[in-house]
Structure 1
Amino acid sequence: MNTRAILRTVGIGCSLLLASAAASADTAQTEAVKRGEYVARLGDCVACHTAPGGKPMAGGLALETPFGTLYSTNITPDGSSGIGQYTFEQFDRAMRKGVAAGGHNLYPAMPYPSYARMTEQDMRDLYAYMMNGVEAVAQPNKENDMDWPFSMRWGLSLWNAVFLDDEAFKPVTDESAQWNRGAYIVQSLGHCGACHTPRGIAFQEKTMSDQGGKGHLFLAGETVEGWRALSLRNLWTPEDTAEMLKTGRNKHGTVSGNMVDVVQHSTQYMTDEDLLALGIYLKALPPGKDDLPMQVAQGPAPDIVPLPAGMGAAPDEDVPTNIFTTRGGLGYLQFCADCHRANGDGVPGVFPPLTGNHTLQSQDPATLVRIMLTGWRTPVTETHSRPLTMPAFAQLSDTEIADILNFTRRSWGRPDAREIAASDVGDARKHLDAKGINGRPFETPRLADMLKEPNAEQLVLGARLNIDTARMLPDHVGAAMNCASCHLNAGTVADGSPYVGVSAFFPSYGARAGRDITLEERINGCFQRSMNGKPLPKTSDEMKAMVAYFDWMKRETKPEDRVEGRGIGKIDRSIVPDPDNGKLIYAAQCAICHGAEGEGIKDAKGRWVYPPLGGDHSFNIGAGMARIYTAAAFVKRNMPIAFHESFPLGQGGLSDQEAVDVAAYFSHLPRPDFAPKLNDWPKGGKPSDARY
């Protein structure tokens, strides 16, 4: 082979080697970016460095501290306003020591004391991702609004000298690999202690791990931005913890406050192995001094005492009887029980239980008060794509909220829970600027006010018969329905068939009967149609109690008056229904409460929780809800619940077309017949959507 051929062969070989090396480097870089993306998920970088409606990692989120307002910075690889010019060494120093590339100190709202415990490999992978996997955004950083002297950053050097421990995480040799993996994530990338560990006078975490003389304080709970970050020590079973972090819910409750963002942006993306490791580590931590012993962690037994004479049938065995005899109990029954149930069990997979709920058992009621005043929303996860909301109850007075919360804490919380005063609620209201504005003149009657009336026992019985009709009157109810199934919150919700003023309009002409009917006849019409049952004797104590309850809500209403919020409103009857689309809407918005096929749902003891919309246990063909446009008007304003922030059930939210479509679907599900239907509308005027 001549010299030229040899050189050509060598050149080709070198080119192949160089190409192979370049491809190998590209593969290594791609893998590092992928690992770094997972590290960024573990660290939840996007949550703090993304403003509402802003671009990911571009900063601008306001962070409220006791010393003023900080704004998170742009950490995209933009060269001017982001971190695009950072070398790895500068990035590592910022992450571990809180010193930016320009030399100024970062505020410890950036959890660099936790990130200091990261491994070098995780740090390098994170750097690769931030520089090569994040879109660069040219967005200048906002100026902080910190009070003096905290606006002077030189003091942070002293803070770091006293409080910063920048040693990397060291595995504990006598613990398992799973335990150590969980400990590493919790103590470093997860920076769980930033919210859940008590802070000192200089706002420093009192300890950064479970080791050492202050290890018992690690993750023992702290109040942050008006939310109580609960103790994570000895928390549930590892599997329960993994489920909560993956989905935002488990059988003990749901996340709230800042944890909504943590689950939504971070923990739901963790591997199952890492989630279980977290649970194993947290379960291994001994309880803190304020944590409940395990034998009372499920809450005290409900207060069951005999009802006063005349109060009717006893409640279910696990319902606190003082729910009917106290202002807090009646307030809970009216505003909370539809989701959390009268027995505090909640609805599995939908609404959180109160029994065994750690938020309810906390000595610090900050989260409870805040949720009542400002509402709450579950995270959006792959498991639960539809977020559920609890609306704000700031329309209630400070005393009403305190009464309800004290009732729940006594019934399902901890025996030694301190009393919540109305002033506690008032102080929180001012801090949160929770005004509770009512956008319409409808005045919601308060069931608690019945206790002031001379016939209080009869009125409470009437309310109970509305709420618990099927169980209390089994001989007269043939369906799994209660009056409150259609008359929401015992008839106290605007556009939810409220009873306000109703008795003033009876006797009145009923087109379906073709004559004037009395209030008692109207009530019995519901028993026979909506509840597929039998009429009550007009002179029975139960009928008298129901009529008394209606009369109590009449107030000063006269027959000629127009009552705000009466009925269920109207809907355009020219809308053409599409039941196929209605079936899709039903599956997305209704099935979680009414069952996949409209069969309703029951609790673990076989008791009905939410009624079926079809089948033998539903309303019959003679009920108003069996008509498309009547059902659509009700759905439009009242269903689904927990859809948005409207008081008191987060109800409504579908468009007119969607309401008509879904009503067309469920109103035509199989249901019981109504033999006397041939006698309806004897003088004509039968609606076009009647089923017969």
Structure 2
Amino acid sequence: MAAPARTADADLVAHGAYVARVGDCVACHTAPGGKPMAGGLALNTPFGAVYSTNITPDEATGIGRYTFAAFERVMRKGVAADGHNLYPAMPYPSYAKITDDDMQALFAYLKHGVQPVRQANRAPGIGWPFNMRWGLALWNALFLDDAPFRFDPAHDAQWNRGAYLTQGPGHCGACHTPRGIAFEEKALSDAGSDGRLYLSGATVESWHAIDLRNLWTVDDLVALLKTGQNQYTSAAGGMTDVIHHSTQYMSDADLKAMAVYLKSLPDGAAGPAAEPAPAAAEPAGLFTSKGGLGYLQFCASCHQTDGRGFASAFPPLGGNPAVLSDNPESLIHVVLTGWKSAQTATYPRVYTMPAFDQLSDQELADILTFVRTGWGGRKDAITASQIGKLRGRIVSAPAGAPDYATPRFASMLDQPNAVQLVRGMRLNMQTKALLPRNVGDSLNCASCHLNGGTVALASPYVGLSAQFPSYASRAGKVISLADRINGCFVRSMNGKALPVDSADMKAMVAYFDWMKNGYHMKDKIPGRGTGKIDDTLRPNLAHGRQVYASQCASCHGANGEGTKRADGSSVYPPLWGDQSFNIGAGMARRYTAAAFVKNNMPIGAHNRFPLAQGGLSDQDAVDVAAYFTTQPRADFPPKIHDWPNGGKPKDSRY
């Protein structure tokens, strides 16, 4: 077959660029921080690491001297220009199905549409006997079917297009089809005696690639491939890169064709597609089991107590294939190493889930068992040994114990007053719902004291009860812990004080005492307060408005109104208006708010434990804090009595 002309036709190159997108060439042939298509990415196999090669048109280290015949032999037979056999980590068994026209266009693109990069290829990290390449010729003889894609007349053109894209350039089977003892895909298509195994799910680099057969609806499949998320899940692991580099750029017609093909396949091993979990109250055990309390503390801020997640940011758990799967490896992997959403044109902002490897194997086992029971209906528990085994493979040695020791909700169950402590915790997390007559806005204590007051630099309660009674300059007198709590009720929650002798106030005080952690009056407590901010910075309100729109509005609403569930309860709190904190609250002060924002907002921004929170500069934090604290909010008439002995802060609103 003749090679394309040296001066390639622009349309041919553009066509080849599209084929390269479908084939996701850039994802495997680009190392982290490296030049596109220059290779060097480690592809881990059961036999060792294989490094992707330089496929730029550099003549010394890339494919610049390749003829089309040599290129085609690589793609269809896995044999390089110098005659050595490639390892099947390169999905040439799938690429063998690429049509002649697409193959010629792809070659034209790689030769004339990619910048050459001089970068030598790395030798594979594979030991004897698997480094003996003559065995790969035998592998090809046994397992390679290099026949081109065959149009099936029993199906229409759309189905056949989807089958071609899935089986050929899209090489979906390379990850989603189980492999045999020789690393061969057990089926290369849905045809034949082994066809039912095709796309039935497999484990790849300690991620479980899900069963794609008859999965969801066509529209749900298209949504995931186009945007990185749908009503069931968000992409994770290697699929995040596939969507980021490849499928989001495919035409709607091609994505629909693939979805039609996948939906047509008979149910795989996991049975029929899962449906979203029905809207319901919290799962049984949320407040009475260690797994439930662990979930509440470390997961519910993003995934919510009902497991619904938060649209466009944090995926749901009900109907999520990682939760429903017989194989929990992806679920364990994501809590140990974290997650990032796919960056797509539809969802350009990347959200991050931090790694929870600071939690013990047993803690994670309890939490994941609770999740799979509550939203997956599963009866099989995840064990600490399962967590530990995968941790040993994928987690680097920890950097050392943090200065701030995060209290664990689950440990309250070991205390003799566990019922009272859990009630105190719930009053912090669900203040509005449990004390509606005392809360006048839409806030909870946990709106400012994140994760029930257990997060460093988010006004944690650790050691706080040891500091009372103490003199408060705002009140001009010595106050008790109960007085301080009531100050939040009347200011931050624009409500009414809770009787100090009530069972609920005693539960809240007991909860604070549980977090005393052996501290004494005037001890230096790591993580206390909201941290420091440069209070000499002058705010720029116009810039603060821009920061708010880009970093805050997705959770707190375009007009500071917060976000709500269908029943009207708050998901993320309002930042101004009559449902937010009043003018007498500490958060109404510019630099207090700025310090909180700097260290805690936005959540889901990077890999910091426990909420991937913080990351704005001091100036950004001051600007956005000045913007939202100066917006309209409820007055606090008793403010005339504040700071009777002096000491009024310079950033007070009154």
TM-score over 0.5 (shorter chain): yes
Equivalent of 1:521, from 472, 480, 483?
483
CA contact (8 A) 1:611 1:618 kept: yes
1:400 lines up with 2:363 in the alignment: yes
- SS of the residue 1:419 aligns to: coil
1:51 lines up with 2:14 in the alignment = no
Matched, 1:440 2:420: no
Matching of residue 160 in structure 1 with residue 153 in structure 2: no
Q: Distance in 2 between matches of 1:637 and 1:560?
A: 23
Distance in 2, Cα, partners of 1:122 & 1:273: 17
> Given that residues 392 and 436 in structure 1 are in contact (C-alpha distance below 8 angstroms), is that contact kept between their aligned partners in structure 2?
no
Taking the aligned partners of 2:400 and 2:342, their CA distance within structure 1 comes to 27
Offset at residue 26 of structure 1 (A): 10
Give, in angstroms, the shift of residue 236 of structure 1. 1.1
Following superposition, the deviation at residue 603 of structure 1 comes to 2.1
Q: Which residue of 1 aligns with 2:96?
A: 116
Which SS does the other structure have where 2:9 is aligned?
A: helix
1:71 aligned to 2:51? yes
Does 1:330 find its partner at 2:293? yes
The answer to whether the Cα contact below 8 Å between 2:232 and 2:276 also exists between their aligned partners in 1 is no
Q: Write the mapping of 1:66-145 to structure 2, written as runs, cut at 5 A.
A: 66-145=46-125
C-alpha separation in 2, matches of 1:260 and 1:537: 52
Correspondent of 1:533 among 478, 483, 495: 495
Q: CA deviation at 1:587?
A: 1.3
Q: Give, in angstroms, the shift of residue 667 of structure 1.
A: 1.0
Q: Which residue of 1 aligns with 2:413?
A: 451
Aligned residue number for residue 346 of structure 1:
309
2-structure distance, mates of 1:235, 1:508: 61
Q: Residue 249 and residue 543 in structure 1: after superposition, are their counterparts in 2 closer, same or farther (change >3 A)?
A: same
Alignment partner, residue 501 of structure 1? 463
Counterpart CA distance in 1 for 2:568 and 2:267 is 35
1:250 is paired with a residue whose SS is coil
Aligned letter for 2:23? G
Q: Is the 8 A contact 2:231 2:276 kept in 1?
A: no
2:375, 2:213 → 1: CA distance? 21
Matches within 5 A, 1:90-489: 90-289=70-269, 291-294=270-273, 297-298=275-276, 317-416=280-379, 418-438=380-400, 440-489=402-451
* Alignment correspondent of 1:22: none
* Number of equivalent positions: 650
> Is the aligned partner of 1:599 residue 2:579?
no
Residue 482 of structure 1: how far off its partner (Å): 0.5
Contact 1:251 1:349 in 2 (8 A): no
Instruction: Report the AA paired with residue 34 of structure 1.
Output: A
1:74 partner SS? coil
Deviation, 1:297, is: 4.0
Give the secondary-structure state (helix, strand or coil) at the position aligned to 1:459. helix
Q: Does the 8 A contact of 2:17 with 2:109 survive in 1?
A: yes
Partner deviation per Cα, 1:564-605 (whole Å, 9 max, x = no partner): 111111211100111111111111111111111211111233
Cα distance, 1:292 vs structure 2: 4.0
The code of the aligned residue for 1:253 comes to T
Q: Give 1:293 shift.
A: 3.5
Q: Secondary structure at the match of 2:285?
A: helix
What TM-score do you get using the length of structure 1 for normalisation?
0.92
CA deviation vs aligned residue, 1:288-319 (integer Å, no higher than 9, x gap) = 12x1445x6445x79xxxxxxxxxxxxxx521
- Partners of 1:373 and 1:434 within 8 A in 2: no
| Structure 2 unaligned residues grouped into runs of 5+ | none
3-state SS of paired residue (2:580): coil
Shift of 1:653: 0.5
* Residue equivalent to 1:310: none
Say whether the 8 Å CA contact 1:395–1:438 is kept in structure 2: no
Counterpart position of 1:18: none
Which amino acid letter does the alignment assign opposite residue 349 of structure 2?
R
CA contact (8 A) 2:492 2:582 kept: yes
SS of structure 2 residue aligned to 1:664:
helix
How far apart are 1:321 and its partner, in Å?
3.2
DSSP-derived class of the 1:330 partner: helix
Amino acid in structure 2 at the alignment position of 1:651? Q
- Report if aligned partners of 2:8, 2:112 keep a CA contact under 8 Å in 1: no
Task: Answer yes or no: is the 8 Å Cα contact 1:115–1:189 preserved in 2.
Answer: yes
SS of residue paired to 1:249:
coil
Matched, 1:645 2:607: yes
Structure 1: how far apart are the matches of 2:71 and 2:548?
50
Alpha-carbon distance between aligned partners in 2 of 1:434 and 1:458, rounded to the nearest angstrom: 39
Mapping 1:612-651, distance limit 5 Å: 612-651=574-613
Query: Residue 253 of structure 2 aligns to a residue in which SS?
Result: helix
The residue identity in structure 1 corresponding to 2:294 is G
- 1:658 matched to which residue of 2? 620
Contact kept, 8 Å, 2:26 with 2:245, in 1: the verdict is: yes
Query: Are positions 1:668 and 2:630 aligned together?
Result: yes
| Contact 1:96/1:166 (8 A) holds in 2 | yes
Identity percentage of aligned residues = 60
Q: Distance in 2 between matches of 1:589 and 1:257?
A: 25
Matched residues in 2 for 1:675 and 1:650: separation?
Answer: 38
State the distance in 1 between where 2:275 and 2:321 align.
8
1:679 and 2:647 are equivalent in the alignment: no
Q: Distance in 1 between matches of 2:16 and 2:566?
A: 44
Paired residue secondary structure (1:206): coil
- Measured after TM superposition, the shift of residue 686 of structure 1 is 1.3
* Contact 1:395 1:435 (C-alpha < 8 Å) held by counterparts: no
Q: How big is the alpha-carbon RMSD for the aligned residues of Structure 1 and Structure 2?
A: 1.4
Q: For the structure 1 residues 80 and 345, does the alpha-carbon distance in structure 2 shift closer, same or farther, using more than 3 Å as the test?
A: same
User: Shift of residue 435 of structure 1?
Assistant: 3.6
Deviation at 1:118, TM superposition (A): 0.6
In structure 1, stretches of 5+ residues that fail to align are 1-24, 303-316
**1:581-638: CA deviation from partner (whole Å, max 9, x where unpaired):** 1111111111111111211111233321100111111111111111110000001111
Residue 566 of structure 1 is matched in structure 2 by 528
The AA in structure 1 aligned to 2:605 is F
Cα distance between partner residues in 2 of 1:244 and 1:433: 28
Deviation at residue 533 of structure 1 after TM alignment? 0.8
Q: Distance in 2 between matches of 1:192 and 1:382?
A: 22
Q: Secondary structure at the match of 1:458?
A: helix
Q: Distance in 2 between matches of 1:678 and 1:26?
A: 83
Output the amino acid matched with 2:455: V
Q: Is the 8 A contact 2:460 2:529 kept in 1?
A: yes
Aligned residue for 2:391, secondary structure, equals: helix
Distance 2:337 2:225 in 1: 23
- Secondary structure of 1:228 counterpart: strand
Measured after TM superposition, the shift of residue 265 of structure 1 is 0.7
1:312 corresponding residue in structure 2: none
1:85-119 CA distance string (max 9 Å, x none): 11111111110110111111111100000000011
Please give the per-residue CA displacement for 1:523-560, whole angstroms capped at 9, x wherever unaligned: 01101111111111111111111000001111211113
Q: What residue in structure 2 maps to residue 7 of structure 1?
A: none
Deviation (angstroms), 1:320? 1.3
Helix, strand or coil at the partner of 2:107: helix
Note if 1:575 corresponds to 2:537: yes
**Matches of 2:522 and 2:540 in 1, distance apart?**
39
Query: Shift of the alpha carbon at 1:439?
Result: 6.1
Secondary structure class of the residue paired with 2:596: helix
Q: Which has the larger radius of gyration?
A: 1
User: In the superposition, relative to structure 1, how do residues 481 and 410 fare at CA in structure 2: closer, same or farther (>3 Å)?
Assistant: same
Aligned partners of 1:359 and 1:368 also within 8 Å: yes
